[in-house]
Amino acid sequence: MKTKFKKTLYSLSFFLLSICLFTVPTFASGLNWNGHFQTETRVNLDNSALTWQETNLTLQPEVVTNNTRFYGELCYRRSGLLSQNNSLLASTNSNPIELNEIYLDLYAYPWRRMDLRIGKQLIPWGTGYLLNPTSNLNPEDLRDVFDFGRYLGSNALKATTYLGEVTITGVFIPVFTPAALPNQQFQALFAPEMPPLPFTVNEQKIESILPAENLQESAAWGVKLEKHLLGCDFSVSYVDGRYSLPVPKITLTPVGEKVDLLCELIHPRRKIIGFDLAGAYGGLGFWSELAYFFPEEVKVTSDLTAIIGQHMEIVTLKDTPYAKYLIGMDYSADHLYFNGQYLHGFPQEQGKDKLGDYFLGRLEFTLNDGKIKIPFNACLEIRDFDKFQESFAILFSPEICFYPEMNTEITLSLRLIDGKSGTNLGKMKDWDEIGLKIKYSF
């Protein structure tokens, strides 16, 4: 059930929309609609089980005048699988009708060098392809674990100021929103790791704890400075907010010779300094990102004197700073496109000792005047370079895409995964799939 605080923000968004469409006649007369229809089905190669079946319709209204722009994105998404629908009911976005974005742009207001954006919006910081260590304002949308780079919109106020060759962007988000998690078959990727205990657990209880809905506990903010220098785009950013993915907080209570375990899934605060770079040389493009995290420690000390004769301290997130970073490049020539990236730290990995290394690549051939594309996608995960044979996993996904018309895309895909235990991809090695996706844009 939505709280009064969230209802107030949604009411404000719709109030602004009403003003745009009804009190200013030129807005309504200039309303344009875009969008797309998409349906996708995936089947497990081992047992022929349907692993994904979803149809969605996205509508994008837009109104543009000399000094304003209104934009919205409304999506109806529905799965044909009961297990998927049950999962969505337990996630952040349980309603099949989702308002992904709805905002108003005010240009040169309240100052001629400043633009404002007010409402629910995506704030895509970072220069990488799909994966961005420095993009930490919007919560992740992980309902489809193979659809990298998706985020949920946030109710925010964004101000962009232009000072000569320097652009300064400030963002304020008053409401915390947790990440949207996948259905049950992929929940193991994001399940909290329980520490090993030297005694028997009598009862285990898991609770989800969200921050109090006030500005002190729930709000997040960020600022970014951008400048073009020596043919490259540079930026430095700072974010003060919370982890959108939960971190377990473990409390032990002795009961005889056993213990009751309470696992509270909380969202500790984090401060992040980010650096971005992007440029091009001839047909070669390159980019890099560095995000330095300063996490809030999650630690509980339990009195277990009755069982082990001492107190026991469980730390599930250390306050040790850690870095996530990405380096990438792409190259295009004639009918060939290549994209390669190295990433240290996936979005769900939190803490210095839990970061993996990933090598991602995409090689794409274009045929028949753009009516056929054949991409080959791959990802290599390495947990320990010194023990490569025991700590690697690989994903390989070739596709063939047909474009009978400019606005119609038909994609056949194959996904093969293999890996060692202890790797993220290795947890999905039983989910080799074939898929069919059809998308029509209008």
Written as one string, the DSSP assignment of 37-95 is: EEEEEEEETTT--EEEEEEEEEEEEEEE-SSEEEEEEEEEEEES-HHHHHHHHHSS--S
Inter-CA distances, 284 with 105, 279, 325, 339, Å: 34, 9, 20, 10
Inter-CA distances, 20 with 13, 28, 72, 114, 337, Å: 11, 8, 12, 20, 42
For residue 21, what pLDDT band results from cuts at 50, 70 and 90? Answer: very low
pLDDT at 302 over 70: yes
For residues 238 and 272, is the Cβ–Cβ distance under 8 A?
A: yes
The radius of gyration of the chain from alpha carbons, rounded to an integer in Å, stands at 24
Convert the pLDDT of each residue in 382-398 to its tens digit: 999 999 999 999 999 99
The pTM (predicted TM-score) of the whole model is 0.88
The SS3 of residue 272 is strand
What percentage of the chain reaches a pLDDT higher than 70? 90
Element (H, E) at 398: strand 392-405
Tokens matching residue 210: 């969200």
Q: Report pLDDT for 295.
A: 98
Give the amino acid at 68. T
All structural domains of the chain with their residue ranges: 356-442
Alpha-carbon distance of 133 to 327, in angstroms, equals 11
pLDDT at 89 over 60: no
pLDDT at 341 over 70: yes
Question: What is the pLDDT averaged over residues 407-412?
Answer: 98
Put the strands of the sheet holding 247-255 in their side by side order.
Answer: 201-208, 258-266, 247-255
Alpha-carbon distance of 334 to 402, in angstroms, equals 19
**What would the DSSP string read from start to end of 182-217?**
--GGGGGGTSPPPPP-SS-EEEEEEEE-PPPSSHHH
pLDDT at 47 over 90: yes
What percentage of the chain reaches a pLDDT higher than 90? 78
pLDDT at 17 over 70: no
Question: What is the pLDDT averaged over residues 269-280?
Answer: 98
Inter-CA distances, 189 with 33, 243, 323, 422, 425, Å: 38, 16, 21, 11, 9
**Which of 23, 136, 129 shows the shortest CA–CA distance to 70?**
23
Question: Which residue's entry shows tokens 């780079």?
Answer: 149
Question: What is the pLDDT averaged over residues 231-245?
Answer: 98
Give the amino acid at 216. Q
Tokens matching residue 277: 């770079």
φ and ψ at 395, to 5 degrees? -120, 135
- Tell me what the pLDDT averaged over the chain comes to: 91
The SS3 of residue 117 is strand
